[in-house]
Amino acid sequence: MFCVSKSRVCTVLTCMAVLAGAQMAEAQTTLAQTFSRVATARAVGPQRGGRRGGATSTSIENEPVYRVQMRVKTANVKDAGTDDAVEVRLGSLPATWLDLAINDRERGQTDLYDISLLNVGNRGVMIRDIRNLNISKTGSNGWCIETIELLVNGRVIYKTTFPGGQWLDNSKGKSPTLLIGTSGLRANAKWKEFTSPGPSLLIKRLELEQRIESIIGHHIHADKRVKWGKLYGRGVEVSYKDSKTLHVDLDLMLDVKGLESGLDFDFDIQVSSRNGAIDLTVTNFETRIGSKIYKAILAANGFLGGSNQGDLKRMITSQVQNSLGGRPVSVSTGDYNLTAKVTSAGDVRLGF
């Protein structure tokens, strides 16, 4: 499922093995910090010094952030799209590699990505942590950007359009990197008029799917033999199982030497609360290989054994815990009576 991009391996078998390697540690720090921060920011709303209506560019700096997205439109000009790997950084926040479960960054197409919010300490992310926006592209296939929008907590905080397009390319006279600094972000009209959304205690299924999709894409972005959901619909599907459990289905495809086979990873997420914090537990982890030939090859090489299955389960569990939950809501509210319930629509409803 999560094939690390920097490991240019000879076969999908090695690619699968890498999942249990050192790069897995990075993957293990990505789906419950964010989830619990979602609860924190939504339950508490704007912090002291910020106003929900008409907040100034100064007063919003200490606003809590539970979600950052980047919406980017590829220009409608010849050769504007790219299949090269693209990395996004916000200030000192960790990098996010962009890879959706579709053919993204195509000519004239608009794509929406979730950006990682990890490794910022116990206080969580605040708007002041977004010091700059750095977009970098690898490879030799240029990318021409028409419009960039940055969204915080579901609202646009920055937007710019490049007349004629902005090329990210390593050819002569161009740069593969676009850097928008602190002053450029904060001078933007959208930043100046940004107001914080009111508290929300509902985390929608679509949001969960989008977050998981970006996290998974971050780890498979460069290996062309592992693809998103080409055979069985959406790459990530979250559904209701019971009032405390979500079911997640990840559809991928293996492509080795022209042979294609479906690769499914399914698991459940049990949603609960403990001591004022969201608690997520991954259970019922399953791997399914669509082709008997692939399954036989993987089994013969030990990649369907218990240890590898365990490694994959630990990786997913850690990702869920560390990017969609973890930070106690009680830190901000003093209320340890947080409740979490899965609705029939697959949403997560929080309450006190």
Lowest model confidence (mean pLDDT) among 121-135, 233-247, 312-326, 335-349: 312-326
What residue spans in the chain does CATH classification 2.60.60.20 cover? 52-192
Span 251-272, average pLDDT: 75
Q: Tell me if 195 sits within 8 A of 67, measured CB to CB.
A: no
Q: What percent of the chain has pLDDT over 70?
A: 61
Of 163 and 322, more confident: 163
DSSP structure string for 142-193: -EEEEEEEEEETTEEEEEEEEEEEEEE--STT-BSEEEE-HHHHHTSHHHHT
Which residue matches tokens 């537990």? 281
- Of 33, 64, 35, the C-alpha closest to 47 is 64
Neighbours of 46 (CB within 10 A): 22
Of 124 and 183, more confident: 183
Name the pLDDT band for 218 (thresholds 50, 70, 90). confident
Q: Domain 52-192 is in which class?
A: mainly beta
Three-state secondary-structure class, residue 280: strand
Span 21-42, average pLDDT: 42
Name the pLDDT band for 54 (thresholds 50, 70, 90). very low
73-102 burial code (b ≥16 CB/10 A, e <16): bbbeeeebbbebbbbbbbeebbebbbbbbe
Span 58-64, average pLDDT: 83
pLDDT over 90 (residue 319): no
Tens of pLDDT, residues 167-189: 999 887 899 999 999 999 999 99
Q: Would you state the pLDDT for residue 118?
A: 64
Q: Would you state the pLDDT for residue 232?
A: 61
Strand spans (E) along 275-332: 277-289
Q: Would you state the pLDDT for residue 135?
A: 98
